[in-house]
Amino acid sequence: MTTATTLYLGSLRTEATHTRSGQKIITDAPVDNNGKGEAFSPTDMVSAALSSCMMTLMGMLAERENIDLTGLKAEVVKIMAANPRKIAEIQVTFSHPALVATDIQKEKLRRAALTCPVALSLSDSVKQTITFNF
C-alpha cells in the first residue's frame, strides 16, 4: 500500500498527502536555497521527524510504565553542511520540568528515544546530539 503521494506545486513547493488519513503536508525550499521559506523544508521535516519519532517511542514506554508525558517538549536545531549540501547535525533538546518518574524510568525513556526508527535510519554522517532535561 502506498504511504503517501507527493505533488510538485511549482516554485519549489510540494504537497504530500498521507494515503490512509488524507492529511497533507506542504514543504517549501528554504530562503537560503532559493525558496520562500514559508513552510517546513524537506530537511526540516527530517529533523522534526527525529524528535516526533523519539517522542512516540518514549510515549509507548510511558504508557507501559504509567508515566504521564503530557507536556514533553522538544526543541530541534538542524545544522546544514555546504558541500555537499546535506544535514550535518540534528540537535534535539527534550524538556519536561514536571516529569514524575524514577531515575530508572527516566533512563528507560532515554534509551527508548535513542532507538527510534528514524534515529536508526539516519546515516552515521548525520550527527545526532540529544539532550534530556528531565
Regarding whether 119 and 62 lie in a shared domain, the answer is yes
Supply the pLDDT for residue 98.
Answer: 94
What's 58's domain CATH number? 3.30.300.20
Q: Are 114 and 130 in contact (CB under 8 A)?
A: yes
Verify that 52 and 112 share a domain, yes or no: yes
pLDDT tens digit sequence for 7-27: 999 999 999 999 999 999 999
Q: What's the pLDDT score for residue 80?
A: 96
- Kindly state whether residues 81 and 108 are assigned to the same domain: yes
How do residues 65-78 score in pLDDT, each as one tens digit? 999 999 999 999 99
In this structure, the answer to whether residues 10 and 66 fall within a common structural domain is no
The parent domain of residue 23 ranges over: 4-33
Closest CA to 41 of 4, 72, 80, 2: 80
